[in-house]
A and B are shown apart, each in its own frame.
Chain A
Amino acid sequence: MSLALEPSVGPATTKQVTRERIAGNVQRYGAAIVLGLLLVVGSFAFPTFPTLSNFTNIATQSSFLLIVAVGMTFVILTGGIDLSVGSVYALGGILAAYGSTWGIAGAVLLPLLVCGAVGILQGLLIAYGGMAPFIVTLAGLLGIRGLVFALTNEGANTPLIKDAAVTALGQGGMLGLRWPVVIAVVVVVIGSVLLARGRGSQTVLAIGGSESAAVLMGLPVARVKFSVYVVSGLCAGLAGALNAAYSSSGVPTVGVGLELSAIAAVVIGGTLLTGGRGNLIGTTAGVLLLTVIQNLINQVGSLTSSVQAVVSGIFLAVVVIIQTVLSRTQRL
């Protein structure tokens, strides 16, 4: 009787369970499935698409965004957002170029230290100052870009990297993969292990699920919220440094709008923007998907960057609509 009146409270029927499981899987692996489809279709449609050199290109192009998106995934899992990554990415590149005068250690450590400090500052304001992530990192987006321009004489200087060891970090590699790709894979693996096994990972997911519930359970909410912004700052700085090494220079204008690509990749990868659910494999698929779409559009040749923008925008819209509808199915 009560079952008939309140089906949602009663035990779920098998049909419901199946539907929920399908919905959950589509949400989790949807990006990977679409990526697979695109790869197959692309291979048949364009003979120049499925070549080793093109795939190497795609991997290299994806690697910088992927590292940024890993940090963004952590932030979004807690229900937060980090708009500052594009500017921090540029800062990382500039500092890597300046730091390269002290060799490879300077080129890596200087950006990590400063970008980590940016993350610490933002994390403090958000986790302990109780300020909205959107606003703090928006200020970060503006302020850090300002800092980048202040460091480069209003963007007039493009510091070059002359140290061969540093440029090798961006352009060299192993097994046919460039170092940025290898490092991105390592970052994804470390991130996944942290999410699966790390002490804070349950807290990360719990905060996204319900912050007040997490606080009431006695979880170290503030500490974990603080650390995800530090992680994001470090990731963005690292990606910027690698990109600078790859292009042999720190360009003050790189990374404008990068935060949006990173957010899009994370969302396409099945991480809910409200937090609480998601994984880095999805994020990786999301990043690859964005790069492959761009690559396929370039294969067509006659299509311009405006068409590319329209396609990416509509694609993002479709993905989030499907996700929203699916997560509603799951709640039934």
Chain B
Amino acid sequence: MSTVTSAVRLPQKGSALVFLQRYGVYLAIALLLLFNLFFTPNFMTIDNFRVQFIQVVPVLIVALGMALVIGTEGIDLSVGAVMALSAAVIPLYIGYGPLPAAILAVLAGCLIGLANGTMIALIGVQPIVATLSLMVAGRGIALLVADEQLKSVIDPGFLALGRGTIAGVPYSVLLALILVGLVAVLVNRTTFGKQLVSIGGSRRAAELAGLPVKRVLITIYILAAALASIAGIIQTARLSASVPSTVGNLIELSAITAVVIGGTPLSGGQVKVLGTVAGALLLQLIAASLIKHNVPDAYSQITQAVIILLAVYLQRGKAVLK
């Protein structure tokens, strides 16, 4: 009897919750924009949005890779170190031109991804410690590569990546959009995407089903590192300097937050690409709104923490409701 009533009740009780879980992040963005429309002067301007988009790009790109990793029930703490390493490599090879330098920077980052993937997929080390060890070692390596120095980068072709625009849209934003599209296609339209999600659902089942679990996992960690390297390159171009000691510091936390707010569960088995984009945008808009109202950084950090808790609390019952 009680099971029947609960079975009838669940969807009704759930519908508002399900809506919030699925569209909560978009709703939050809409509400925030509405608030700013009325209460923040000069917020709803093209210039402001251009600034916001430029600022969100590094976190967004890192979060895309993080979403893939989290989809496999993993986590990658080393993304900030990867950004630092790619930033450190740029000034070494910028003499050969911007493109070779960028390619080498991405390759260097991919080495860290390969190390992560090997430890996790082949040896079976837990993702959090494996990537923790490379987070610590990776930044050290980056600093050694850079001789522990800040180096300015003046190559005009390279700096265009940070400053150039096409029809008012900055290159970096355009690049981020392309990457979002590629990752979305990868997740939703390819066999690889299906394999990724099924590993996150149950690694054991995926192994028994004969999926190339190890290969997919290694590839995912390399992809995450490649995306983080690109973020490092963009950041370097924007600053017109390679700053391996600080670039990407704590970005893993922002990226994980963006992914989780965007509706990708930490328990894996799902990847929400658009949600991740929205999650990163929401974090950026919150920070910007608080700054424009002169709220001290301390309180914006507390606000961010409360929002993470709220978002995850709402998603808590997801598995049950589905």
Q: Which A residues form the contact surface with B (CB < 8 A)?
A: 81, 125, 129-132, 134-136, 138-150, 154, 260, 263-264, 267, 273-274, 304-314, 316-317, 320-321, 324-325, 328
Contact = CB atoms under 8 A, between A and B. Distances in A.
A324 B120 CA distance: 10
A313 B137 contact: yes
Given A134-B75, A143-B306, A325-B123, A313 B298 contact: no
B301 A260 contact: no
B140 A313 contact: yes
A263 B126 CA distance: 13
Given A141-B253, A142-B301, A320 B137 contact: no
A328 B125 CA distance: 11
Contacts of A264: 129, 132-133, 136
Contacts of A325: 123
B124 interface: yes
Describe A's contact surface by its main secondary structure: helix
A141 B297 CA distance: 15
Interface residues of B, number: 44
Describe B's contact surface by its main secondary structure: helix
B148 A306 contact: yes
A132 to B, nearest CB: 5
Interface centre among B134, B140, B260, B299 (most CB of A within 10 A): B140
Contact of B312 (A135, A145, A263): A135
A148 B301 CA distance: 11
A140 B233 CA distance: 31
A274 B73 CA distance: 14
Contacts of B123: 321, 324-325
- In the A-B complex, the 9 residue pairs with the smallest Cβ-Cβ separation, listed nearest first, are A313-B137, A143-B305, A309-B140, A146-B301, A149-B298, A313-B136, A310-B140, A306-B143, A146-B302
Nearest to A304: B148
Contacts of A274: 126
A277 B312 CA distance: 29
Contact of B136 (A138, A141, A142, A312): A312
B302 A263 contact: no
Given A134-B128, A147-B298, 12 more contacts: A146-B304, A149-B296, A149-B297, A263-B129, A306-B148, A307-B144, A309-B137, A310-B137, A313-B134, A317-B119, A317-B134, A324-B125
Contact of A273 (B129, B138, B302): B129
Nearest to A135: B312
A310 B312 CA distance: 34
A154 B140 contact: no
Interface string B114-157: 01000100011110111011111111110110001000000000
Contacts of A317: 115, 119, 125, 130, 133-134, 137
Contact of B304 (A135, A142, A147): A142
B300 to A, nearest CB: 7
Contact of B132 (A139, A143, A148, A316): A316
Contacts of A309: 136-137, 139-140, 143
B308 interface: yes
A320 B143 contact: no
Contact of B135 (A141, A149, A313, A320): A313
Interface string B89-104: 0000000000000000
27 contacts: A125-B309, A131-B313, A135-B260, A135-B266, A135-B308, A136-B312, A139-B305, A139-B306, A142-B302, A143-B304, A145-B301, A146-B298, A146-B301, A146-B304, A147-B298, A147-B302, A149-B298, A149-B301, A264-B136, A273-B128, A307-B144, A310-B144, A313-B134, A316-B132, A317-B134, A320-B126, A321-B119
